[in-house]
Structure 1
Amino acid sequence: MEKIIGLDLGSVTCGIAMSDVLGMIAHGVETFHFEKDQDEAAVVRVSELAKENNVKKICLGLPKHMNGDIGERAQISIDFKAKLEAAIPGVEVILIDERLTTKVAQNALIFADVSRKKRKKVIDKMAAVTILQGYLDSH
């Protein structure tokens, strides 16, 4: 089994998670920051992690509207998928419906009594963990 990367792409951050080698547990790696709407730096960072860890699969959150429509943010994720596939030959990028993942991550952090200030720093990474863990649990 190979490690899998999970991503939660925002306009200035990319939450990154990775599975264990057994593909059972997702853990947070980092929240990568970049200039507003300049996600090419995130492509480079994810490429580095994928190559270092021999990753062949990436789960990327697709932020659909609650009614299932594809909006501007979802289109940005679709475009990011294409950039990742071009930058990392042989990698499969799977779009995962991420509706409510940030809310689930936020609730988990509140339950764990993490302060608002600390939550802000880790919420994207935790959302990436939620996206990836959902994928792992379903496969």
Structure 2
Amino acid sequence: MRRGRRLAFDVGDARIGVASCDPDGVLATPVETVPGRDVPAAHRRLGQLVEEYEPIEVIVGLPRSLSGGEGPAAGKIRGLAQELARGIAPIPVRLVDERMTTVTASQGLRASGVKSKKGRSVIDQAAAVVILQNALESERASGVAPGEGVQVVI
């Protein structure tokens, strides 16, 4: 397991959930929800978070269908990840499968007593936590960085 803090982004149309982990990669915790409709402002804020947290890498959730295929949403995320990778280089960006993370996050919050209407922005953070925790567990089990690296294209 590589040592170092990581950031994870759960990107949606309206909001971007952000999570971080400790330097040992043991526990993922929520950071904040970034408004996503103003794309330039969202990208600036994500860049600020990367500067603040100094991660060894950034994990971005890649939406896939239940069968594993990719649709228009995945293409949009790939484009965002490419833009992010250019903006924060040399910090690597990795795409990881995010299937069922929002459902898992919603169920966990409901079980904790958080109402869905009140918890929409919290759900995005919780989904980012689930994405990051899954990535950490994958790396711990396999010894290999999770998901796929985003190549910086100039």
Same-fold status (TM-score > 0.5): yes
Q: Find the aligned partners of 1:116 and 1:99 in 2 and give their Cα distance.
A: 19
Give percent identity, aligned residues only. 34
Structure 1 partner of 2:99: 99
- Can you list the C-alpha shifts for 1:52-100, whole angstroms capped at 9, x where unaligned? 2221301100001112221111111100110111101111111111010
Q: Find the aligned partners of 2:120 and 2:12 in 1 and give their Cα distance.
A: 13
User: What does 1:1-139 correspond to in 2, within 5 Å?
Assistant: 1-35=3-37, 38-139=38-139
User: Unaligned stretches of 5+ in structure 1?
Assistant: none
Partner SS, residue 69 of structure 2: coil
Q: Find the aligned partners of 1:46 and 1:27 in 2 and give their Cα distance.
A: 16
Bigger mean CA deviation after superposition, 92-101 or 41-50:
41-50
Q: Find the aligned partners of 1:39 and 1:75 in 2 and give their Cα distance.
A: 16
Q: Find the aligned partners of 2:92 and 2:16 in 1 and give their Cα distance.
A: 18
Aligned length: 137
Deviation at 1:121, TM superposition (A): 2.7
Segments of 4+ in structure 1 off by > 4 A?
none
Q: Find the aligned partners of 1:72 and 1:41 in 2 and give their Cα distance.
A: 23
Q: Find the aligned partners of 1:50 and 1:3 in 2 and give their Cα distance.
A: 10
Q: Find the aligned partners of 1:64 and 1:41 in 2 and give their Cα distance.
A: 26
Residue pair 1:8, 1:128 contacting (<8 A) in 2 also: yes
Partner SS, residue 94 of structure 1: strand
Q: Which has the higher contact order (CA 8 A, sep 6+)?
A: 1
User: Unaligned stretches of 5+ in structure 2?
Assistant: 140-154
Residue pair 1:50, 1:56 contacting (<8 A) in 2 also: no
